[in-house]
Chains A and B, each alone.
Chain A
Amino acid sequence: MKKIKNKEELEKLRGRLKKEREKYEILISVCAETGCIASGSLNIYKKLEKEIKKIKNRKIKLLKTGCHGFSEFDPAIVIYPEKIFYVKLKEEDIEEIVEKTIKNGEIIERLLYKDENGKCISYLNEIPFYKKQNRLVTRLNGLIDPENIEDYILFEGYSALIKVLNEIEPDEVIEIIKKSGLRGRGGGGFPTGRKWELCKKAEGTPKYIICNADEGDPGAFMDRSVIEGNPHSVIEGMIIGAYAIGSNEGYVYIRHEYPLALERLKIALKQAREYGFLGENILNSGFSFDIDIVRGGGAFVCGESTALMASIEGKVGEPRAKYIHTVERGLYDKPTCLNNVETWANVPLIINNGWEWYSKIGTENSKGTKIFSLVGKVKNTGLVEVDMGITLKEIIFDIGGGIKNNKKFKGVQTGGPSGGIIPEKFLNLPVDFDRLNEVGSMMGSGGMIVMDENTCMVDVARYFLNFLKEESCGKCVPCREGIYHMLSILNRITEGKGEIQDIEKLKEIADVMKKSCLCALGTTAPNPVLTTLNYFEDEYIAHIKDKKCLSGVCVSLVKYYIVPEFCNGCHACYKVCPIGAIEGDVKKVHKIKQDICIKCGSCYEVCKFNAIKRD
């Protein structure tokens, strides 16, 4: 491919691509990102490819795309132009799809998504999961092949870059981003335009641009999905940022746990170079910029900006005190502008559509949309993109379809290990940066983990501290020791050895940590404990005083046993027990061997006669 030199050449290419795409009567998009591939989508793709080859008289395009978001129902395909949505497919279904739907336009009811009342829904945009969403950053997931730059170009790709290079002065770009109201999507919510301005004004060259793709929050996969689905949007945003700030060198720091995202990013960077969007003298503008990839080493703390920069420099990823900000002295002690994947991906949108358009979306102080990974005990798990200001209730119940197995909602965890758990009484809370902070949690990068009545809040707090104990770098004492001691208290409580004074002790350690830890990992580490103490203190008391875990999670406090009167010897529990802890012959009363039972609850779930009790 010859490098693109100007707007006209890009438009010409886009015109040709449009004509090419219009030739196709039918387009089938198969979701092919990490989650969907695990559900078997590549086999579906191969089978479709084989079957479609047999059709000679129609032009059909098959696309391997990023995630359409509705992960619970993978593998799924969308058939355009009607947007027929088939879910939970198996290889055997493909021949029928080709025969009936592709050849004859007939809809196969059994492969459709069914709503709560069992009603079949044929088309993607009629599914409740999508109705309240506003997919802007993720709008092309499902429409483009992330490994083909021309697909991105077809949908306005790199137009924002050309516009900026041709028509807008760097300072003006910063002004546009400032006016748009875009705030950092990585968790902190710092105004992006302001960050760019500070970096630009900082003394020293060279200046660096970094994309933080070290998405370490457990339960969050927005950034992975953006990179796997539309890597060029991130790259384009970074180039625009570099132009505005005056940087020629950029890095993407990406988690090593994301092999597919890494691969797609590599391909995207290579293609962007070939087409002339990266490298020397981009689009004949005289501006040069290139991006290098740095793989993370599996340390959560490296998501923190100073630790991340240390890691890029080839050092141990320990944070430093930030009395001098990284915009002044960051990577190699030079001014550095670090933004999150989703933040960068928002930039081309703002340039293309104008800051006025962008600033109309969202709430007063939180503009635009936010992508959340809606997971946990919710019916429709997946990736959702919504306007800032939507309520938690709308996300969990309207989009998410409510709680799995019709259990009762207990809380929702946002903000990863730095965030907190929000109880039922705040379900009507509008979701934006400030409102989530008000209730003791935070926006974080966008993980939203729904918890039901079977989730033990003490256990969840213990889980996060255990996570942080592993991930604390150990450099500062309050974090290293504080987490350790809070965790040992929580371990005691979940083992039934807690004392009532422990609650005060937890609060005291939390207070010290909040005031004195070196980086945000430590200062926010007590949040999961504090929010659960605040909203679910009764559960702590039940563990401490009554030695009971009412949710049946804390292994030491739970016992499963069989009530002989109800047991009819159906043998179901015997079959399901993974370690053979149940004895008894068919049609005879069964018994659980308490000494080896691991309390996984499999028997409890499978028994249809209420014969297994949990105490």
Chain B
Amino acid sequence: MKEIDEIIAKNNWSKNKIVGILQDIQDRYGYLPEEVLFSISQKLNIPVSLIYSLSTFYKAFSLKPKGKYKIKVCLGTACHVRGGYMIVEYLKNKLKINPGETTEDGLFSLETVNCLGACAIGPVVVLNENLYGQMNINKVEKLIKGMKDEENKKQRGT
């Protein structure tokens, strides 16, 4: 809870900065945990309903935890005409999840994003914070395989 106070203090305890506060919470936890939202509601005297409406309106927020590996596929126009949508189709098949969902083992989550502004090197895929340009299905396959291998190695190690 101390962390939450810090985040609110950083935003001057201002009701107007509620979107900024939620963003900081999202950055810190990777999603917006329910109990945290209730606690902010009390601390700033903002109805939970309003916080809920903000959290579901803005795409940057998620009410559910995300996977260890967050895969974002850009579906901006430039990426679309160069085949970005095929990558999404492939990942849906491969991971057996839809965009916005996380695999059962909690390893992968799939998201689509409407343009990351790296259009010149599309199609673009972001894995956690790293951006990969000029992607195609085969390159994505290698990327996923790399992550799975790493996980397997870790499991064997422990």
A→B interface (CB under 8 Å): 34-35, 37-39, 71-72, 74, 215-221, 224-225, 255-259, 294-300, 311-317, 373-377, 381-383, 413, 416, 447, 449, 451, 455, 460, 463-464, 467, 470-471, 473, 576, 578-579, 598, 600-602
A-B CB proximity, top 10 nearest: A297-B58, A71-B120, A298-B59, A218-B76, A221-B117, A219-B77, A218-B115, A375-B78, A381-B120, A38-B131
Q: Is B70 interfacial (CB 8 A cutoff)?
A: no
Q: Is B119 a contact partner of A317 (Cβ separation < 8 A)?
A: no
Inter-chain CA distance A71–B121, complex, in Å, is: 7
Q: Is B65 interfacial (CB 8 A cutoff)?
A: no
For A316, A382, A383, the residue with the greatest tally of chain B CB atoms inside 10 Å of its CB is A316
Q: Smallest CB-CB separation from A222: which chain B residue?
A: B117
With A257-B117, A578-B137 already in contact, the answer to whether A375 and B54 are too (CB < 8 A) is no
**8 Å CB contact of A598 from B18, B54, B90, B120:** B90
| Chain A positions within 8 Å of B132 at CB level | 38
| Chain A positions within 8 Å of B76 at CB level | 218-219
| Chain A positions within 8 Å of B89 at CB level | 598, 600
Q: Is B116 a contact partner of A381 (Cβ separation < 8 A)?
A: no
**Cβ contacts A to B, 21 pairs, < 8 Å:** A34-B117, A34-B118, A34-B131, A35-B117, A35-B121, A218-B75, A219-B115, A219-B119, A297-B59, A313-B16, A316-B53, A316-B54, A373-B78, A373-B120, A375-B120, A376-B81, A382-B120, A383-B120, A460-B77, A460-B81, A600-B86
What's the nearest-Cβ distance from chain A to residue B127, in Å? 11
Q: Smallest CB-CB separation from A467: which chain B residue?
A: B114
Q: Is A297 a contact partner of B117 (Cβ separation < 8 A)?
A: no
Inter-chain CA distance A38–B20, complex, in Å, is: 27
For B15, B19, B120, B124, the residue with the greatest tally of chain A CB atoms inside 10 Å of its CB is B120
With A377-B81, A598-B93 already in contact, the answer to whether A217 and B23 are too (CB < 8 A) is no
Inter-chain CA distance A576–B83, complex, in Å, is: 16
Give me 6 other A-B pairs in contact (C-beta within 8 A), A298-B58, A381-B119 excluded.
Answer: A220-B115, A256-B60, A297-B22, A297-B54, A297-B60, A375-B78
What's the nearest-Cβ distance from chain A to residue B1, in Å? 22
Q: Is B63 interfacial (CB 8 A cutoff)?
A: no
**8 Å CB contact of B23 from A221, A256, A316, A471:** A256
Q: Is B80 a contact partner of A463 (Cβ separation < 8 A)?
A: yes
| Chain B positions within 8 Å of A377 at CB level | 81-82
Inter-chain CA distance A464–B114, complex, in Å, is: 11
Q: Is A257 a contact partner of B58 (Cβ separation < 8 A)?
A: no
With A34-B116, A34-B131, A38-B131 already in contact, the answer to whether A449 and B93 are too (CB < 8 A) is no
**8 Å CB contact of B57 from A37, A316, A601:** A316
Q: Is B113 interfacial (CB 8 A cutoff)?
A: yes
Q: Is B19 a contact partner of A311 (Cβ separation < 8 A)?
A: yes
| Chain B positions within 8 Å of A460 at CB level | 77, 80-81
| Chain B positions within 8 Å of A315 at CB level | 54
Q: Is A314 a contact partner of B117 (Cβ separation < 8 A)?
A: no
Q: Is B58 a contact partner of A219 (Cβ separation < 8 A)?
A: no
| Chain B positions within 8 Å of A39 at CB level | 121, 133
Inter-chain CA distance A34–B124, complex, in Å, is: 12
Inter-chain CA distance A460–B78, complex, in Å, is: 11
Q: Is A295 a contact partner of B131 (Cβ separation < 8 A)?
A: no
Q: Is A257 a contact partner of B53 (Cβ separation < 8 A)?
A: no
Inter-chain CA distance A74–B60, complex, in Å, is: 29
With A39-B133, A598-B90 already in contact, the answer to whether A447 and B16 are too (CB < 8 A) is no
Q: Smallest CB-CB separation from B61: which chain A residue?
A: A297
Inter-chain CA distance A314–B86, complex, in Å, is: 37
| Chain A positions within 8 Å of B121 at CB level | 35, 38-39, 71-72, 74, 381
What's the nearest-Cβ distance from chain A to residue B18, in Å? 4
B→A interface (CB under 8 Å): 14-20, 22-23, 53-54, 57-61, 75-83, 86, 89-90, 93-94, 113-122, 124, 129-133, 136-138, 141
Q: Is B137 a contact partner of A600 (Cβ separation < 8 A)?
A: yes
Inter-chain CA distance A578–B92, complex, in Å, is: 13
Inter-chain CA distance A39–B76, complex, in Å, is: 19
| Chain A positions within 8 Å of B78 at CB level | 218-219, 373, 375-376, 381, 447, 449
| Chain A positions within 8 Å of B113 at CB level | 257, 298
For B15, B118, B141, the residue with the greatest tally of chain A CB atoms inside 10 Å of its CB is B118
Inter-chain CA distance A256–B77, complex, in Å, is: 19
Inter-chain CA distance A578–B86, complex, in Å, is: 11
Inter-chain CA distance A460–B86, complex, in Å, is: 14
**8 Å CB contact of A35 from B83, B120, B129, B138:** B120
Q: Is A295 a contact partner of B23 (Cβ separation < 8 A)?
A: yes
With A35-B133, A377-B82 already in contact, the answer to whether A216 and B115 are too (CB < 8 A) is yes
What's the nearest-Cβ distance from chain B to residue A336, in Å? 15
Q: Is B77 a contact partner of A38 (Cβ separation < 8 A)?
A: no
Inter-chain CA distance A556–B141, complex, in Å, is: 24
**8 Å CB contact of B15 from A221, A296, A314, A602:** A314
Q: Is A294 a contact partner of B119 (Cβ separation < 8 A)?
A: no
Inter-chain CA distance A460–B15, complex, in Å, is: 41
What's the nearest-Cβ distance from chain B to residue A551, in Å? 10
What's the nearest-Cβ distance from chain A to residue B114, in Å? 5
| Chain A positions within 8 Å of B83 at CB level | 600
| Chain A positions within 8 Å of B141 at CB level | 578
Q: Smallest CB-CB separation from A312: which chain B residue?
A: B16
| Chain B positions within 8 Å of A374 at CB level | 120
Inter-chain CA distance A578–B54, complex, in Å, is: 39
With A578-B137, A600-B137 already in contact, the answer to whether A216 and B120 are too (CB < 8 A) is no
Q: Is A221 a contact partner of B77 (Cβ separation < 8 A)?
A: no
What's the nearest-Cβ distance from chain B to residue A470, in Å? 7
Inter-chain CA distance A413–B83, complex, in Å, is: 16
Q: Is B118 a contact partner of A221 (Cβ separation < 8 A)?
A: yes
| Chain B positions within 8 Å of A215 at CB level | 117
With A257-B113, A314-B19, A455-B81 already in contact, the answer to whether A600 and B60 are too (CB < 8 A) is no
Q: Is B119 a contact partner of A375 (Cβ separation < 8 A)?
A: yes
| Chain A positions within 8 Å of B119 at CB level | 218-221, 373, 375, 381, 447, 449
What's the nearest-Cβ distance from chain B to residue A333, in Å? 13
Inter-chain CA distance A219–B84, complex, in Å, is: 13
| Chain A positions within 8 Å of B124 at CB level | 38
What's the nearest-Cβ distance from chain B to residue A404, in Å? 9
What's the nearest-Cβ distance from chain A to residue B98, in Å? 14
Q: Is B18 a contact partner of A314 (Cβ separation < 8 A)?
A: yes
What's the nearest-Cβ distance from chain B to residue A360, in Å? 31
With A256-B60, A297-B19 already in contact, the answer to whether A579 and B90 are too (CB < 8 A) is yes
Inter-chain CA distance A65–B95, complex, in Å, is: 39
| Chain A positions within 8 Å of B16 at CB level | 312-314
**8 Å CB contact of B114 from A218, A311, A316:** A218
Q: Is A299 a contact partner of B117 (Cβ separation < 8 A)?
A: no
